[in-house]
Structure 1
Amino acid sequence: MIRVALDAMGGDLGPRIAFDGAIEVLSRHSDVSITIYYSPVSGVDTPAPNERLSLIPCSDVIDGDDDIVLSLFRRKDSTLYRSLEALSNGTSDVAVTLGNTGAMVALARYVLGLLRPKLYPALIRELRSNPLRCLVDLGANVHCAPSMLYGFAELGAAYVEAIADEEAKVGLLNVGVESTKGSSVIKKTDDLLSDCSWPKYLGYAEGTELFDGDKNVIVCDGMVGNAVLKASEGLLSFIMEKFKAEQGAASLLKSFYQIERRHGACLVGVRGNLVKGHGCSDVPATVGAIEYGIDIARADLCTAMQTRLCNEEIK
């Protein structure tokens, strides 16, 4: 049985989205149980609990605009903290939240701990699933030193090799592939990756290589990654809107997009399986984020990545 801890309070559209998403997931997967951490909201009815659906009321909710300050770590009855705590104490196999990204990263480091000292956690997004292509980081870290970007390459490579059982081929996102281009941070990161035996490094990558080409792990800092992701999603929405008048065109694009990538992103580098969905997720997107969490829990992603990283560290 895969046990999911679901933070119901982080989404922009309220807990009803999480409730409905959980019920839909349970109807699809007989080997899944979900524990929902929620705060009672006037006018929103909770679903009826059963042997595979549990509801745990919490007294606190971390909002999207809450700052990452010391008091955050004392808010132990918040829905986000409680869902991460369930992951930490082994009562769940994966945690899913649609909430505050900064708070999630900070609390995950605090509650779960790091896979390896000085290896900063990063958000990974699957841009395509067949063949698997990933972008890392998406916003967990904004100001990144070369050593951090090098760590993102390790995390991305370990993710690909754990999920897809294929060789990771890393590219470093840059303004061009020429050796003279890029900031000092990018050039130093290039030197670090060029000198390593693992992961396999194929050099600089341009934006045109995000969705196609030999490189299946594209590394960048969180500011760039988040901008790239949001721009790509915005372009898709724009095209779908323009194609609404064309018979079947918009639905074809939407179907392709749903098949080619997962909903949500995975926070890697912490001791647990953790999925972050879009704050604006509707029910289908929430279902997708939960099912993504189920997939990585079934693959025992965290353990597989830790084993891969430790093997490289021992060499």
Structure 2
Amino acid sequence: MIRVAIDAMGGDLGPRIAFQAAKEVLDRHERVNITLYLSQDDGLSSDDFSQLDSSSRQRLKTVFCQDFIAGDEQVDRSLYKRSESTLYKSLSDMSAGQHDVVVTLGNTAAMVALARRLLGLIRPRLYPALVRELRLNPLRCLLDLGANVHCPAQMLEGFAILGAAYTEVLRSEVAKVALLNVGVESTKGNSVIRQADSALSSRLWPVYNGYAEGFDLFDGENNVLVCDGMVGNTVLKASEGLLTYFSQKLVKTGANKQMLESFYENERHHGASFIGVRGNLVKGHGRSDFRAAIGAIEHGIEMARADLWCAIDKKLEKEGFV
């Protein structure tokens, strides 16, 4: 049985989206239990829970908390004292072995800080990163997506290592890593990119193919593309914004919008994996709708089934990262 915890107060659209997505996931997956972490004023009623069938009702648990962390809150050291918040309690309970994965649509900075504090790092010198599969076939992963904005060369090197481990243990593909840059020529890029390039070039693992350009995000031989969080987050949201723009244009012209949406839905996950910590954690968009929330939860189930963080830990040990 896979045990999923959901920080239901994290999304921009409120806890009802998390509840409805949890209900749908329970209907789809018989061997999944879900715990919703809610605040006392969550807006849900007994009528909402009465919609659950008997099987889902037995597999859905609620934990009511006194506090929750809003998506637009500034993160400071007081965050570590908010042990009664939904995000804190869900992560703390996972660290105590009560859950296999935590899913949140909430504050990214708070998630990163609390995950590092409560779960701990897989390796002291590897900064955790958010990784997202832009495509599944052929595989194309991008990291970091916003967990780390100011990144020295050592962090980019670490992202490459974590991304390669993620790809090889979860997708059973040989990781082919490239650094996202303004050009593929050796003279291109700033000093940080060049230093990371030099460090990765000297490694026996992972396979490193040098620089990649924006053209390579959805095509080409490299399946792990590495950049700092500022670039990664911008690229991801620009790609999704372009899809939305094209969809709206297609509606006006009467073209087949459903075909485009179907292709996109089949080619991605609705959620980024936060890798590098000692636990399975999925971060979805704050603005996630019903369908996106379901996708984030189902990606979490996949991570839990693979016991992803433990598999990455073993892969790093095998490759000599102690």
Q: Name the TM-score, length of structure 1 as normaliser.
A: 0.98
Structure 1: tracts of 5 or more residues without a match: none
Which residue type is aligned with residue 6 of structure 2? Answer: L
Q: Any idea what SS the aligned residue of 1:115 has?
A: coil
Change (3 A) 1:278 1:130: same
Which residue type is aligned with residue 308 of structure 1? Answer: K
Q: CA deviation at 1:130?
A: 1.5
- The answer to whether 1:35 aligns with 2:42 is no
Q: CA deviation at 1:102?
A: 0.4
Q: CA deviation at 1:43?
A: 4.2
Q: Any idea what SS the aligned residue of 1:275 has?
A: strand
Q: Any idea what SS the aligned residue of 2:252 has?
A: coil
Per-residue displacement from partner, 1:7-44 (whole Å, max 9, x unpaired)?
Answer: 00010001000010100000000000000000022643
Q: CA deviation at 1:249?
A: 1.7
Q: Pick from 218, 233, 242 the counterpart of residue 225 of structure 2.
A: 218
Aligned to 1:15: 15
Change (3 A) 1:42 1:305: closer
Q: Pick from 294, 303, 306 the counterpart of residue 299 of structure 1.
A: 306
> Which residues of 2 match residues 1-315 of structure 1 at below 5 A?
1-41=1-41, 43-45=43-45, 47-48=48-49, 50-247=57-254, 249-313=256-320
Q: Any idea what SS the aligned residue of 1:18 has?
A: helix
When the two chains are superposed, the root-mean-square deviation of aligned CA atoms in Å is 1.3
Counterparts of 1:232 and 1:42, CA distance in 2: 33
Counterparts of 1:24 and 1:100, CA distance in 2: 24
Per-residue displacement from partner, 1:211-246 (whole Å, max 9, x unpaired)?
Answer: 111000000000000000010000000000000134
Counterparts of 2:303 and 2:37, CA distance in 1: 21
Q: CA deviation at 1:132?
A: 1.7
Counterparts of 2:36 and 2:265, CA distance in 1: 25
Counterparts of 1:206 and 1:251, CA distance in 2: 30
Change (3 A) 1:202 1:278: same
Change (3 A) 1:90 1:201: same
Per-residue displacement from partner, 1:232-282 (whole Å, max 9, x unpaired)?
Answer: 000000000000134452111111110001001000000000000000011
Counterparts of 1:200 and 1:252, CA distance in 2: 35
Structure 2: tracts of 5 or more residues without a match: 50-55
Q: CA deviation at 1:86?
A: 1.8
Identity of matched residues, %:
61
